[in-house]
Amino acid sequence: MRPFGPFVGIRDMMVMHSLIDIVGINDISRSVFDNASAAIIGMAKNYKPMEIRGKKNVALTALGTVQKAINFICPQLIRAGYQPIIFHASGVGGRIMEDFIGRGTFCGVIDLSPNELTDHITGGFHNAGPNRLEAAGKAGIPQIIIPGCVDFFAWGPEATIPEKWRTRQRYYHNPAYTLIRPTHAEMKQIGEAFVRKLNAAKGPVRVILPLKGMSIGGLKGGTTYDPEGDRILFETIKTGVNKNIPVFEMDFHVNEEPLANKAVEEFFKLRGDPKA
Amino acid sequence: MRPFGPFVGIRDMMVMHSLIDIVGINDISRSVFDNASAAIIGMAKNYKPMEIRGKKNVALTALGTVQKAINFICPQLIRAGYQPIIFHASGVGGRIMEDFIGRGTFCGVIDLSPNELTDHITGGFHNAGPNRLEAAGKAGIPQIIIPGCVDFFAWGPEATIPEKWRTRQRYYHNPAYTLIRPTHAEMKQIGEAFVRKLNAAKGPVRVILPLKGMSIGGLKGGTTYDPEGDRILFETIKTGVNKNIPVFEMDFHVNEEPLANKAVEEFFKLRGDPKA
ipTM value greater than 0.90 = no
Nearest to A212 by CA among A20, A27, A69: A69
- Tens digit of each residue's pLDDT (9 = 90 or more) over A177-213: 999 999 999 999 999 999 999 999 999 999 999 999 9
Residue of B nearest to A127 (CA): B1
- What's the CA gap between A188 and B41, in Å, rounded? 51
Chain B residues lying within 8 Å of A83, measured CB to CB: 26-27
Please report which confidence band the pLDDT of residue A156 belongs to, taking 50, 70 and 90 as the band edges.
confident
Would you call A193 helix, strand, or coil by DSSP? helix
Is residue A276 included in any domain, yes or no? no
Is residue A183 included in any domain, yes or no? yes
Strands A177-180 and A153-155: antiparallel
pLDDT of residue B276: 54
Q: What is the DSSP string of B111-167?
A: ES-TTHHHHHHHT-S----TTTT-HHHHHT--EEE--TTTT-EEES-GGG--GGGTT
Is residue B97 included in any domain, yes or no? yes
pLDDT of residue B8: 80
Q: How many CB atoms lie within 10 A of CB B25?
A: 10
What average pLDDT is seen over chain B?
A: 94
| Number of independent structural domains in chain A | 2
Q: Do A145 and A75 share a domain, yes or no?
A: yes
Backbone angles phi, psi at B34, to 5 degrees: -60, -45
- What's the CA gap between A64 and A70, in Å, rounded? 10
- Tens digit of each residue's pLDDT (9 = 90 or more) over A87-122: 999 999 999 999 999 999 999 999 999 999 999 999
pLDDT of residue B55: 83
For chain A, count helices (H), then strands (E): 9, 10
Q: Does A244 touch chain B (CB under 8 A)?
A: no
Q: Do B228 and B130 share a domain, yes or no?
A: yes
- What's the CA gap between A171 and A218, in Å, rounded? 9
- What's the CA gap between B64 and B44, in Å, rounded? 35
Q: Cβ of B100 and A28 within 8 Å?
A: yes
Minimum distance, in Å, between the CA of residue A94 and any CA atom of chain B:
10
Is residue A252 included in any domain, yes or no? yes
Please report which confidence band the pLDDT of residue A274 belongs to, taking 50, 70 and 90 as the band edges.
confident
Q: Are B57 and B107 in contact (CB under 8 A)?
A: yes
- Tens digit of each residue's pLDDT (9 = 90 or more) over A215-242: 999 999 999 999 999 999 999 999 999 9
Bridge partner list, A16: B14
Range of the structural domain that residue A144 is part of: 57-271
CA angle centred on B81, ends B76 and B87, rounded to 5°: 65
Q: Do B217 and B187 share a domain, yes or no?
A: yes
Q: Do B101 and B132 share a domain, yes or no?
A: yes
Chain A residues lying within 8 Å of B41, measured CB to CB: 42, 46
Is residue B276 included in any domain, yes or no? no
Q: Does B76 touch chain A (CB under 8 A)?
A: no
Chain A residues lying within 8 Å of B67, measured CB to CB: none
Q: Do A36 and A165 share a domain, yes or no?
A: no
pLDDT of residue A7: 73
Is residue B165 included in any domain, yes or no? yes
pLDDT of residue B9: 84
Q: Do B145 and B22 share a domain, yes or no?
A: no
Q: Do A100 and A178 share a domain, yes or no?
A: yes
Backbone angles phi, psi at A111, to 5 degrees: -95, 90
- What's the CA gap between B109 and A106, in Å, rounded? 56
Is residue B50 included in any domain, yes or no? no
Q: What is the DSSP string of chain B?
A: --BSHHHHTTS--EEE--SS--SS--HHHHHHHHHHHHHHHHHHHT--------SSEEEEEE-GGGHHHHHHHHHHHHHTT-EEEEEETTTHHHHHHHHHHHTT--SEEEES-TTHHHHHHHT-S----TTTT-HHHHHT--EEE--TTTT-EEES-GGG--GGGTTS-EEEEETTEEEEPPPHHHHHHHHHHHHHHHHT-SS-EEEEEETT-SSSTTSTTSTT--HHHHHHHHHHHHHHS-TTS-EEEESS-TTSHHHHHHHHHHHHHHHT-TT-
CA distances from B212 to A272, B186, B208, B245 (A): 75, 19, 12, 22
Chain B residues lying within 8 Å of A70, measured CB to CB: 23
Mean pLDDT of A155-159: 86
Mean pLDDT of B161-174: 91
Bridge partner list, B108: B58
Residue of B nearest to A128 (CA): B1
Q: How many CB atoms lie within 10 A of CB B223?
A: 13
Q: Cβ of B40 and A42 within 8 Å?
A: yes
pLDDT(B160) > 90? no
- What's the CA gap between A232 and A185, in Å, rounded? 9
Is residue A24 included in any domain, yes or no? yes
pLDDT(A49) > 80? yes
What average pLDDT is seen over chain A?
A: 94
Please report which confidence band the pLDDT of residue B275 belongs to, taking 50, 70 and 90 as the band edges.
low
- What's the CA gap between A152 and A180, in Å, rounded? 5
pLDDT(B105) > 80? yes
Q: Do A25 and A100 share a domain, yes or no?
A: no
Closest residue to A17, CB basis, from B13, B16, B32: B13
Nearest to B254 by CA among B155, B179, B108, B150: B150
Q: Are A163 and A224 in contact (CB under 8 A)?
A: no
Q: Cβ of B42 and A43 within 8 Å?
A: yes
Closest residue to B96, CB basis, from A19, A88, A105: A19
Q: Do A71 and A99 share a domain, yes or no?
A: yes
Q: What CATH number does the domain containing A211 carry?
A: 3.40.50.12030
Q: Are A70 and B20 in contact (CB under 8 A)?
A: no
Chain A residues lying within 8 Å of B90, measured CB to CB: 1-2
pLDDT(B1) > 70? no
Q: Does B27 touch chain A (CB under 8 A)?
A: yes
pLDDT of residue A55: 83
Q: Cβ of B45 and A38 within 8 Å?
A: yes
Q: Do A76 and A31 share a domain, yes or no?
A: no
Q: Do B163 and B263 share a domain, yes or no?
A: yes
- Tens digit of each residue's pLDDT (9 = 90 or more) over B59-73: 999 999 999 999 999
Residue of B nearest to A23 (CA): B86
Q: Do A146 and A197 share a domain, yes or no?
A: yes
Q: Does B199 touch chain A (CB under 8 A)?
A: no
